[in-house]
Structure 1
Amino acid sequence: MTLTKIVAAAFAVAALAATPAMAALAVGAPAPDFRAEGALGGAPFKFHLAEALKKGPVVLYFFPAAFTSGCTIEAHNFAEAADKFNRMGATLIGVTAGNIDRIAEFSKSECRSKFPVAGDPKLRIAKAYDATMALFPGHSNRTSYVIGTDGRISTVYSNLSAQHHVEEMLAGVTEWRAAHPR
C-alpha cells in the first residue's frame, strides 16, 4: 500500500470520528510572518504574509496532501467561496507540506485557479502555526486561520474533517470586518 493510500485511509477514519484537533495558536496570538512559493492556476506564485495583510485579512488554511479525498473536498469548497472572500477583501491561501510536487496541478484542477496554494516542504510554516500532524510526520494538519491586518489571529479552526472550514473562515472574516470597518 502506498503512503498516499495509507494517508487517505487515515483521513477517512479520522473524518468519520470527526474529532476536533487543537491548534496551539490562539485567537489574539501574533501570526508568524512567512514567505512561500506555490502555484495559482498552475503558474508559479510567491506569497508574503506581511504584504498580503496590507490589503486586508488573510485566510490561511493548512491541508495534509494534495489530491487526497478530504483535501480535494476542502479545496473545492474554498474555490466555491473564493469570490465571497474576495468581496470581503480577504486573501485566501492554502499551504501543504504533503506531496508539494503536485501543487501546481492541484491549484488548477482542485482549487479551480481561484486561489494559490503553497508548498511547505520542511514544515517551517506549519510548525510556526502549530499545524503539523503528529500521526503522519511530514504532513500539515487541517487547520484554518483568519489573520487580521494587525498581524494577529482572529479566528482558528482545526479539525481533520474538511466539512466546516469554509463556513468557519467566512464567519471569522465577517466578524473581523464587523470589528474593523473600512
Structure 2
Amino acid sequence: MKRLSLLAACAALFIGGAASAALPVGATAPDIVTKAARGGKMFDFALKSALKKGPVVLYFFPAAFTSGCTVEAHAFAEAAAEFQKNGATLIGLTGGNVERIAEFSKSECRDKFPVGAATPAVVSGYNVSLAAKAGWTDRTSYVIAPNGKIIYVLSQMSPAGHVEGTLDAVRKYKLAHK
C-alpha cells in the first residue's frame, strides 16, 4: 500500500511538472518582436500589433524541415483560411535552424501563414525550451486573446491535436465575443 502511494505521488509530481512547463491559461503572454517570413519574404512580426486585429494562434515547433514539424505546418496551412475566417492571426515560431524559416514558410507553410525565429528571450518567456536539444523549442501551441491573456495551451511533442485544439479555442472565443 505504501509503495502504491509513493508511486502515485511520483506520478502526480511528474505529470504536474510536465503540465506546468508551458505558460498556463490566464497568464499574460510575453511580448514578441522578431523576424518572420511568409511566402519566403522576411518581415518584422510584433505580437502587440497582431493582437490589435484579434486573437493570435502562436505555435512553437522544434525545427523547420523535421518530420513532425512538416506535418504540423501542412495541417496549419490547410486550416489557415478557417483561422482567418474566425479573426485569428496564425504564426509559428522555432528556435531550431532559424536560417531556413523563409524557405519553410514557402514550401511547408505553403505561403498561408508566417513562421519566425524564437529568440532566446521568447523561448524563456514562453517556457518552451526543448530539453533534448539546446536552443530548440518544444511543440507548444497557444491562443492569445486580444487583451494579451492566454486562453488555450497545448504542449505535447506529437503534432496531433494542435490545429484542432487551437481552432476550437478560436471559434469559442469568437462566439463569446460577438
Q: Same fold (TM over 0.5)?
A: yes
Counterpart position of 1:143? 140
Counterpart position of 1:167? 164
Q: What are the within-5 Å matches in structure 2 for residues 91-110 of structure 1? A: 91-110=89-108
- Matches of 1:173 and 1:126 in 2, distance apart? 23
8 A contact 1:23–1:156 mirrored in 2: no
Counterpart position of 1:88? 86
Q: Which runs of 5+ in 2 are unaligned?
A: 1-17
Counterpart position of 2:73? 75
TM-score, length-scaled by structure 1: 0.85
Paired residue total: 161
1:82: Cα distance to partner? 0.2
Q: CA RMSD for the aligned pairs?
A: 1.2
Q: Give per-residue Cα distances to partners, 1:101-155, cap 9 Å, x unaligned.
A: 11100000000000000012x4221211111111211100100000001110000
Q: What are the within-5 Å matches in structure 2 for residues 29-48 of structure 1? A: 29-48=27-46
- AA aligned opposite 1:148: A
8 A contact 1:71–1:162 mirrored in 2: yes
Q: Which has the larger radius of gyration?
A: 2
- Matches of 1:112 and 1:23 in 2, distance apart? 31
Tell me if 1:176 matches 2:167. Answer: no
SS in 2 for 1:97: strand
Tell me if 1:27 matches 2:25. Answer: yes
TM-score, length-scaled by structure 2: 0.87
1:174: Cα distance to partner? 1.2
Q: What are the within-5 Å matches in structure 2 for residues 113-128 of structure 1? A: 113-120=111-118, 122-128=119-125
**Which stretch of the first structure deviates more once superposed, 130-139 or 148-157?**
130-139
SS in 2 for 1:94: strand
1:22: Cα distance to partner? 4.8
- AA aligned opposite 1:153: I
**Runs of 4 or more consecutive aligned structure 1 residues displaced over 6 Å after TM superposition:** none
Counterpart position of 2:58? 60
- Matches of 2:27 and 2:99 in 1, distance apart? 32
Counterpart position of 2:155? 158
- Matches of 1:43 and 1:24 in 2, distance apart? 30
- Matches of 1:44 and 1:21 in 2, distance apart? 34
- Matches of 1:23 and 1:144 in 2, distance apart? 12
Counterpart position of 1:10? none
- Matches of 1:101 and 1:48 in 2, distance apart? 19
1:98: Cα distance to partner? 0.1
8 A contact 2:22–2:140 mirrored in 1: no
**Which stretch of the first structure deviates more once superposed, 66-75 or 38-47?**
38-47
SS in 1 for 2:45: strand
Identical-residue share of aligned pairs (%): 57
